Structure 1
Amino acid sequence: MIKWAFNFRSWQPTRSEWIFCGQCIQNEEKERIQRFVFKKDAKAAMAGRLLIRKAIAYCLEIPYKEIKLGRTEKGKPYLVNTVQGSLSFNVSHNGDYAVLAASRNGTIGVDVMKYEVRTSVPKFFHTMRRQFTEPEWSQIRKSTEESEQLKTFYRLWCLKESYVKALGVGIGFEVSRLDFTFNTEYLKEYVVTKDTSLKVDGVHLPEWTFEEHTMDNHCIVVANNQQNSTTTDFEEESGREYEHFKVLQINDLLQCASCLCEPDEEFWEKFDPKDEAPQIHRKPSS
């Protein structure tokens, strides 16, 4: 399995860099990226597409220009090309990072969430009360500190989303059907946890494993179902499975990229004037 991360919030693309990135993705994806209102969302989407194309070229040795991506009816990206061997891959972005997990062994889903502070935690939990089981709410409220409760909340949400994304069923899935149980109560920075278990509609699913990571104030979960797998997974460049997420730079994403179209100046001209993110308007103090 490969696990890659890219900090899109710290990436400030130059004109030539952004235009080149636009040349390295399919036209329909470039048009979709142009429609984002804020730079952070455009950069996150661009990073996701470049991560996917890099993973496919690296894992399946398909020439970059020949890679053709499509989306299922539920929006999950997939490889259109007919090739020998299989590759399950998934991307997610939130906070500062876009992440990708890919494997030849099983079915993959990945989700990332940034631990964010909220002003009214009880109200927020009340709004989300139907998304979690009673045992999960007990886990969330085990700590008396709201900051720790929020971390557990985001952890459980990441677990649920990783599973749903692996299934590729979209947002209609009722996540309250999922019940996760921790064996490791709290995650530690850069320590991988793999002992959380899942029940769906009360039935334990031992074929599913969940790799939980915390990195730079983000929670990342990789869901993997190896029940029907008959292939051998590939190894990282070091000759062994790379356990933690490997943080890539923009040069890494573009290392094997090839142009699919001519340079498009308008792609930069539409991107450059946008705000990075929504402005937070605070009430003036009286």
Structure 2
Amino acid sequence: MIRKVVSEYLNIPYKEVTLARSEKGKPYLTGRTDVDHFSFNVSHQGDYAVLAAQANCNLGADVMKLETRTDVASFFQTMRRQFTAEEWQLIRSPTTDKEQLKLFFRLWCLKESYVKALGVGIGFEVGRLNFHLPSLNIDSSVITDTTLKIDGTAMSDWSFEEHFLDNHSIAVAVNNTCKTPSEKLVNEDMNEELLSTAGEFKVLDYKDIMKNVQPLSEPDMSFWENFHPKAEDPSQWKSKQAQKS
């Protein structure tokens, strides 16, 4: 998915896309002297994988599935240091556990998207981040009015694009110094959706996903011959191996 969007966005032959990782594990494009900076980020959780990409800036993406819990009070207590007093007031404002959890996961998704954009890893104290949500209800539209303060200082050079899709919160943190529009891809199994500049999702079929994708090496038939007879359940395969020995 990363290789595909880099190839098509920057018009680089698929097989010439070379990727590396920073010390904190964030992937980046390497080996190109003709590209100043191209930022992309991937997140997967629940039923979806999300990829965001944009030139000349830093960005981060995150997706969180809304999960029901029976221990909401104790769960919130465990996570108390990860949110500001203002955020906790917002989280606890609904009267039902479901709506409180929806706000919790939405805010957590926003925090993750910002930290991933920075590429600093899990060492960042997300409790310093305070998000303000003017739009509390997200339907099929893309929300862009969320703002961020860090240690009380407004981060006016950052914007956040949010969407709620099939019980999943999606957030993309974008540095406002970017000069080109971003591209966001949401992948569910073999179905992919592209967010256009108009904020609408376009469903792509399998052929669209695989378009321009090329194998990076010749097929290894010996690998397939070894893999093919294996049982789908690894425990069954181990049992058969034990019986043979």
User: Normalised by the shorter chain, which TM-score bucket?
Assistant: 0.7 to 0.9
Deviations 1:183-221 (A, max 9, x none): 112222x21111111001111001100001001111100
- The alpha carbon displacement at 1:249 in A equals 4.2
* Alignment pair present for 1:180 and 2:138: no
Deviations 1:212-271 (A, max 9, x none): 1001111100100023x4x444789x9x62524544444333211111112235379289
Question: What residue is the counterpart of 2:176 in the other structure?
Answer: 226
Q: CA RMSD in A?
A: 2.4
8 A Cα contact 1:105 1:226, kept in partner: no
Question: What residue is the counterpart of 1:241 in the other structure?
Answer: 197
Question: What residue is the counterpart of 1:256 in the other structure?
Answer: 212
8 A Cα contact 1:107 1:226, kept in partner: no
* Alignment pair present for 1:273 and 2:229: no
* Percentage of identical aligned residues: 52
8 A Cα contact 2:53 2:182, kept in partner: no
Q: Which blocks of at least 5 consecutive residues in structure 1 are unaligned?
A: 1-50, 276-286
Q: Which has the higher strand share?
A: 2
Partner Cα separation in structure 2 for residue 119 and residue 262 of structure 1: 50
Q: Which blocks of at least 5 consecutive residues in structure 2 are unaligned?
A: 185-193, 235-245
Partner Cα separation in structure 2 for residue 241 and residue 217 of structure 1: 23
The DSSP-based 3-state class of the residue aligned with 1:191 is: coil
In structure 2, relative to structure 1, the CA distance for the partners of 1:150 and 1:54 (3 Å cut) is same
Partner Cα separation in structure 2 for residue 184 and residue 193 of structure 1: 7
Question: What residue is the counterpart of 2:148 in the other structure?
Answer: 198
In structure 2, relative to structure 1, the CA distance for the partners of 1:246 and 1:127 (3 Å cut) is farther
Partner Cα separation in structure 1 for residue 148 and residue 38 of structure 2: 24
Give the structure, 1 or 2, with the largest relative contact order (CA under 8 Å, sep 6 or more): 1
Among 97, 120, 142, which residue is 1:146 paired with? 97
* Alignment pair present for 1:132 and 2:90: no
Count of matched residue pairs: 220
Partner Cα separation in structure 1 for residue 118 and residue 25 of structure 2: 12
8 A Cα contact 1:210 1:224, kept in partner: yes
The DSSP-based 3-state class of the residue aligned with 1:137 is: helix
Partner Cα separation in structure 1 for residue 174 and residue 91 of structure 2: 24
8 A Cα contact 2:52 2:182, kept in partner: no
Partner Cα separation in structure 2 for residue 123 and residue 152 of structure 1: 16
Deviates more, 1:144-153 or 1:99-108: 99-108
Among 160, 170, 186, which residue is 1:210 paired with? 160
Question: What residue is the counterpart of 1:170 in the other structure?
Answer: 121
Partner Cα separation in structure 2 for residue 108 and residue 144 of structure 1: 34
In structure 2, relative to structure 1, the CA distance for the partners of 1:69 and 1:272 (3 Å cut) is farther
Question: What residue is the counterpart of 1:110 in the other structure?
Answer: 61
In structure 2, relative to structure 1, the CA distance for the partners of 1:70 and 1:104 (3 Å cut) is same
Question: What residue is the counterpart of 2:190 in the other structure?
Answer: none
Partner Cα separation in structure 2 for residue 91 and residue 102 of structure 1: 9
The DSSP-based 3-state class of the residue aligned with 2:110 is: helix
Question: What residue is the counterpart of 2:17 in the other structure?
Answer: 67
The DSSP-based 3-state class of the residue aligned with 1:136 is: helix
Partner Cα separation in structure 2 for residue 191 and residue 269 of structure 1: 44
In structure 2, relative to structure 1, the CA distance for the partners of 1:272 and 1:246 (3 Å cut) is farther
Partner Cα separation in structure 2 for residue 87 and residue 136 of structure 1: 32
TM-score (norm 1): 0.71
Query: What letter is aligned with 1:207?
Result: D
Partner Cα separation in structure 1 for residue 31 and residue 167 of structure 2: 37
State which structure, 1 or 2, has the greater radius of gyration over its C-alpha atoms. Answer: 2
Partner Cα separation in structure 2 for residue 226 and residue 194 of structure 1: 12
8 A Cα contact 1:93 1:111, kept in partner: yes
In structure 2, relative to structure 1, the CA distance for the partners of 1:260 and 1:205 (3 Å cut) is same
